[in-house]
Amino acid sequence: MQPSLYIHIPFCVKKCGYCDFYSGVAGDADIDRYIAALDRELALMVPQGLAPATVFIGGGTPTRLSAGQLQQLGQVLGRHLDLSAGPEFTCEINPATLTPAKAKALAQMGVNRASMGVQSFDPHFLRELDRAHEAGTAEAAIAMAREAGIARLSVDLMFALPGQTLPQFEADLRQALALGTSHVSLYALTFEDDTTLTRKLQLGQVQPCPEDLERAMFEAAGRICGQAGLHRYEVSNFAVPGQECRHNLVYWTLGDWIGIGAGAHGMLDGTITANPKDFRAWCEALEAGRLAAIGQSAMRPQERAEALLLMGLRLVQGVELARFRAFAGADFTALCGQAAGRLVELGLLEFTPTHVRCTEQGLLVLDSVVVELASDLEVRA
């Protein structure tokens, strides 16, 4: 299978108070320069005519670009890629920044799946997340995407927000499902270092969601999505059967992908690449005719096995035992059998003929399950 392709667009209208992704505010001249640098990096990184398994444009806010700039980006991709087979091609969309002309440019580029960063439909919580400008825009953006011919629609929601109640979360989720979306991604709010929201926490201006309430929201999500015909296929992702995000499955199963753009990461055959989180330094390197990657590191078999546990156990299907053996050079039970046995007795882990996976209770304490297995792996590797 050909590798997937991730393209990072690090520009936003404004920086959200909870976000620690590499992103920032820039003018049109900077964006034009960035698109030209993407052209150069693709020429250096991607075999001419690559037919990627999947494509994902993320950010930042890709739809911060103007319709004309999105058309330029589409022309750049057309020079380097073969998209004639119509691979899953996702673009993250900030609803307030989408216009009919931008939606049309995305569709012409080959985008056939929109990931709508709604986060909440509640104006109060949008204000708390520094996204007040988003209020009332999600429905219109989804209609624009559909009108342009982007058939697959996913909605991102956040939960466990400070002060959020279970009924408020359930109302957000039901509103997303009422829009006819075939995929929902749910993200529990985390307080990341050096963000506005974390500083509010440190000052006592906000309080984190209680753990028991966050658990109730997690369980309610499974019930409500299931009633609407969306099944949980990953700890925080739900889809109509057949509408799972194939690009993210590449990450979760440790497949291969090429990362393009400032701040992007990639992985090919266990070797990780990383680009600088500085779009000007990244542009300067490419304008000088060289790649801007700040490092490459080949993962050892133990590291690949640990990463597969960390990512793969997020999936409801779990980790394929044969793939673990190929990465680690030994059977799962030989390396993690003791820890796995303890977790099975606790009702947190189970085996199928082909996979090891978390139970529903195990998914609730996924981090602890992974730490337990990884500690056993480290001792025996």
Q: What is the mean pLDDT of residues 147-158?
A: 96
Whether residue 16 is predicted with pLDDT greater than 60 in this model: the reply is: no
**Selection from 64, 224, 104, 204 nearest residue 157 by Cα:** 224
CB 346 within 8 Å of CB 300: no
- Helix intervals (H) in the chain: 28-45, 67-80, 100-109, 123-128, 138-148, 166-178, 196-202, 211-227, 246-252, 279-287, 301-312, 321-328, 332-345, 360-364, 366-380
**What confidence score (pLDDT) does residue 20 get?**
47
Highest mean pLDDT out of 124-138, 195-209, 316-330:
316-330
pLDDT for the residue numbered 157: 96
Residue 180 pLDDT exceeds 60: yes
- Is residue 129 left, alpha or beta, with left meaning phi > 0 and alpha meaning psi from -120 to 50? alpha
Query: For position 132, what pLDDT does the model report?
Result: 56
Half-sphere exposure of 19 (CA within 13 A, CB side): 18
Instruction: Give me the residue spans of the domains in the chain.
Output: 4-252, 301-380
Q: For the sheet containing 319-320, what is the strand order?
A: 319-320, 355-358, 349-351
Q: What is the CATH number of domain 4-252?
A: 3.80.30.20
Q: How confident is the model at residue 23 (pLDDT cuts 50, 70, 90)?
A: low
Residue bearing the bigger pLDDT, 191 or 176: 176
Element (H, E) at 59: strand 54-59
CATH class of the 301-380 domain in this structure: mainly alpha
Quote the percentage of the chain above a pLDDT of 90: 76
